[in-house]
Amino acid sequence: MGDHSFLVIFSSLLVLIICADTSLAQLTPGFYRKTCPNVERLVRSAVELKFQQTFVTAPATLRLFFHDCFVRGCDASILLASPNNKAEKDHPDDISLAGDGFDTVAKAKAAVDSVPQCRNKVSCADILALATRDVVNLAGGPFYRVELGRRDGRISTIASVQRRLPHPHFNLDQLNSMFSSNGLTQTDMIALSGAHTIGFSHCGHFSKRIYNFSPRKPIDPTLNLQYALKLREACPLRVDSRIAINMDPMTPQKFDNQYFKNLQQGKGLFSSDQVLATDERSKGTINLFASSQLAFNNAFVQAITKMGRIGVKTGRQGEIRSDCFRVN
C-alpha cells in the first residue's frame, strides 16, 4: 500500500472516529439548560398525571423507547404515522405497542410546548427518553440522569423493523447477537430484560409453551408446572389471543427484581426469559440480580443509558418535530 493510499484511509478513519465522538459528546444531561431549563419538570408533571390515570403508562412507555432505539436508533421514528400503514409502528412486531405509550409522549410534548420559551425546542426523542426514566421511577425503579440532545428522525418504514427486535422464542445466542449489534453486552441485555417486571403480554405469544410445546411434552419442561396450569386458566384454548397477562405474576405493578426471582422458580413467561436462568452463561447474573435490588438497579441504569445512545441523531441531523407523529 502506498503512502498516499494509507493517508487517505487513515484520514477517513479519523473523520469517522471524530464524528462518532462528537455525536456522543453532544448528548448531555444539561443540553436544554439555556433553551428550556424546566424541561425535566414539565415532562415529569405530565407523565405523573398520565401514570395516575393508568399504570399501563409505565410498561407502555418503556417498551416504546426500547422499540424505538433498536430500529434506526433513538430518534422517535417509532412515533411517526403513515397514511398507507407502512411506518415502523405498523410492523407486526410493533402492532401490539400500547396506545398509552404514544399518549404519554403526546401529553409530555404538549406540556413542554405550552411554555413559549420551550416551544419546538425539545425533540420528541428526548421527551420519550425522559418520560421513560420517569415511568420507571414512578413504578418504584431508580431515578437516573438522562443524556439529552437527540434529534428526531424523518424516516420510518415497516421494512426497517424486520429482524431488529427480539422475539419471545429467542435463545441466548440470538439475544446476545441482537443486543451486541447495538453495542450492548450480555449483562446489559439481562438488565433490560428485567423491564418485564412491569410488562404484560398476550396469550398468543406464549401459548405454544403451555399447549403444544412438543409431541411428547405439551407443556415446556422449563416452565413451572403450577404456573403453567394457571396460565392455561387465564389463556384457555381458542381464547382471544389479545388477552393480556402480567409478565411478573408476583408484583406486576412494581419495578423491582422479582422478575429474576421468578426465573429462578421457572416462572418466566417467554422462553427467551426462562433461558436466561437455564443457560449456565447467564445464570450467574440472574442469581446476582435476584439477590440484590441494588445490583439490578445499577445495571439497569447503565444499560438503558447505553441504549439511549444507539444511532442518535445530533447537531444538524434530523429535526425537532412540532408534531411528534408527523415530520415537519
Residue-wise pLDDT tens digits, 23-53: 444 899 999 999 999 999 999 999 999 999 9
When pLDDT is cut at 50, 70 and 90, the band that residue 6 belongs to is very low
For residues 113 and 94, what is the distance between their CA atoms, to the nearest angstrom?
Answer: 27
Percent of the chain with pLDDT over 90: 88
Q: Is 197 a known ligand-binding residue?
A: yes
Any idea where the domains of the chain sit in the sequence?
38-160, 184-307
Mean pLDDT, the chain, integer = 93
Ranges 9-23, 240-254, 257-271, most confident: 257-271
Q: Which residues are bridge partners to 28 per DSSP?
A: 148
Window from 11-25, 121-135, 184-198 with minimum mean pLDDT: 11-25
In 3D space, the residue among 35, 65, 29, 20 whose CA is nearest the CA of residue 320 turns out to be 35
CATH of domain 38-160: 1.10.520.10
Is residue 221 over pLDDT 80?
yes
pLDDT tens-place string over residues 61-104: 999 999 999 999 999 999 999 999 999 999 999 999 999 999 99
Q: Is 39 a known ligand-binding residue?
A: no
Asked whether the CA dihedral 276, 279, 283, 284 is positive or negative, the reply is: negative
Same fold, 38-160 and 184-307: no
Q: Rounded to two decimals, what is the model's pTM?
A: 0.92
In terms of CATH architecture, what is 184-307? Orthogonal Bundle (1.10)
Is residue 4 over pLDDT 90?
no
Q: Is 75 a known ligand-binding residue?
A: yes
Cα Dmax for the chain: 72
When pLDDT is cut at 50, 70 and 90, the band that residue 18 belongs to is very low
- Region of residue 177 (left: phi > 0; alpha: psi -120 to 50; beta: else): alpha
Active site residues: 67
pLDDT of amino acid 242: 75
Any idea which residue has 404484560 for its cell?
A: 200
For residues 306 and 324, what is the distance between their CA atoms, to the nearest angstrom?
Answer: 23
Q: Is 149 a known ligand-binding residue?
A: no
Q: Is 141 a known ligand-binding residue?
A: no
Mean pLDDT along residues 267-277: 98
Is residue 224 over pLDDT 50?
yes
Is residue 200 over pLDDT 90?
yes
Q: Is 256 a known ligand-binding residue?
A: yes
Number of Cβ atoms within 10 Å of the Cβ of 229: 12
Q: Is 73 a known ligand-binding residue?
A: yes
pLDDT of amino acid 11: 47
For residues 257 and 245, what is the distance between their CA atoms, to the nearest angstrom?
Answer: 19
The answer to whether 312 and 148 have CB atoms below 8 angstroms apart is no
Is residue 21 over pLDDT 70?
no
Reduced to 3 states, what is the DSSP secondary structure of residue 267? coil
CA R_g for the chain: 21
Mean pLDDT along residues 158-168: 96
pLDDT of amino acid 2: 52
Q: Is 251 a known ligand-binding residue?
A: yes
Q: Which residues are bridge partners to 319 per DSSP?
A: 152
